[in-house]
């Protein structure tokens, strides 16, 4: 039997997506928080981003995940232009909740959590993407208050009825919040941080229980799991890893934290089994981890699109390999 991994279903929505997604954070280019610290991944070449999107599509990647705040609107604009004329070939996801100044490329400190803001944000997202509907719309505020989130969930049901979106979800690592959104009949997913070094057992169990897709952000641990930062430093001042915020645990002062590097090295041989690259092995771990996972690695170049899509041909890791990784990372207790 072939191990090729090709498609998964986006939770209980019935929407079929490629098992691999295309994360569009990095193609947004440079943007900053209110203090001037970087929130992007450095300079970007829009023409190369477009070529990468087209190459990914040609290789069978159909799921594209962006957010209005990525590049302060720039990611959505680039993606929208790239898929013009091919909208029927993609499953298009975006996120809202961050307030930002598109001209200044700056994100505000406080989120926008009112229904009025959500509707205005959706209208702007559809305009930038050049489409009249989204397949998946996600709240982008990890720990938004429950009462406000409940109102936004109900608003998303209105958006479904109006034909503006097909399904919705929440980008959160909190099971209680994910469960709240899942009370809505058209909630299809939770976007959760999960990778071979940072498992998310509670969230994945919730996805099993409620039939939600686990859209995996951070599947390559912010680049650590590509293996290319072993000795190299991230020196571009516009790259979030150069001046990482507290939640970005893998990097410090532009370099991989030695403890995380050691954990990666402990499992590198398994990840690179059968001729995989480390990144392909990290994606294979996610596919083997749970049937609801849909990893969305960031892609900026044609080469990255080809390498990530190449993981589809290898398929998931085996059960013995998964067990060995748990032992090596001391997660068997």
How far is the C-alpha of 185 from the C-alpha of 118, rounded, in Å? 19
Nearest in space to 150 (alpha carbons), one of 130, 164, 133, 170: 170
Q: CA torsion 118→123→129→135, rounded to 10°?
A: 60
73 CB-contact burial (10 Å; exposed 0-12 / middle 13-18 / buried 19+)? buried
How far is the C-alpha of 231 from the C-alpha of 106, rounded, in Å? 31
Strands 213-217, 187-193: pairing is parallel
What are the residues whose beta carbons fall under 8 Å from the beta carbon of 146, sequence distance 6 or more? 176, 177, 180
Q: Quick check: 215 and 226 in contact, CB under 8 A?
A: no
Say whether 121 sits in a helix, a strand or coil. helix
- 229 noted as active-site residue: no
Query: Where in the sequence numbering do the catalytic residues fall?
Result: 70
């Amino acid at each position: 039997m072939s191990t090729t991994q090709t498609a998964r279903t986006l939770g209980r929505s019935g929407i079929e997506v490629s098992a691999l997604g295309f994360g569009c954070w990095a193609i947004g280019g440079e943007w900053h928080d209110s203090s001037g610290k970087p929130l992007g991944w450095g300079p970007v070449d829009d023409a190369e981003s477009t070529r990468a999107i087209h190459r990914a599509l040609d290789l069978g990647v159909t799921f594209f995940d962006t957010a209005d705040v990525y590049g302060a609107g720039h990611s959505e604009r680039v993606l929208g232009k790239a898929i013009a004329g091919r909208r029927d070939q993609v499953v298009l996801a975006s996120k809202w909740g961050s307030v930002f100044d598109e001209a200044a490329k700056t994100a505000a400190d406080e989120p926008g959590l009112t229904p009025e803001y959500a509707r205005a944000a959706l209208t702007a997202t559809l305009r930038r993407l050049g489409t009249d509907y989204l397949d998946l719309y996600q709240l982008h505020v990890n720990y938004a208050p429950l009462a406000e989130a409940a109102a936004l969930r109900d608003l998303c049901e209105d958006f479904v009825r109006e034909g503006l979106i097909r399904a919705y979800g929440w980008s959160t690592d909190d099971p209680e919040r994910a469960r709240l959104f899942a009370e809505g009949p058209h909630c299809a997913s939770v976007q959760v941080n999960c990778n071979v070094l940072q498992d998310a057992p509670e969230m994945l169990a919730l996805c099993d229980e409620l039939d939600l897709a686990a859209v995996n952000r951070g599947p390559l641990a912010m680049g650590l799991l590509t293996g290319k930062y072993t000795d190299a430093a991230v020196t571009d001042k516009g790259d979030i890893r150069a001046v990482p915020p507290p939640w970005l645990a893998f990097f410090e002062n532009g370099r991989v934290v030695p403890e995380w590097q050691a954990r990666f090295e402990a499992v590198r041989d398994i990840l690179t089994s059968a001729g995989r690259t480390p990144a392909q092995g990290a994606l294979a771990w996610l596919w083997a981890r749970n049937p609801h996972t849909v990893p969305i690695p960031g892609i900026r170049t044609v080469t990255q699109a080809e390498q990530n899509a190449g993981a589809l041909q290898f398929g998931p890791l085996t059960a013995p390999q998964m067990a060995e990784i748990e032992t090596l990372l001391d997660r068997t207790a």
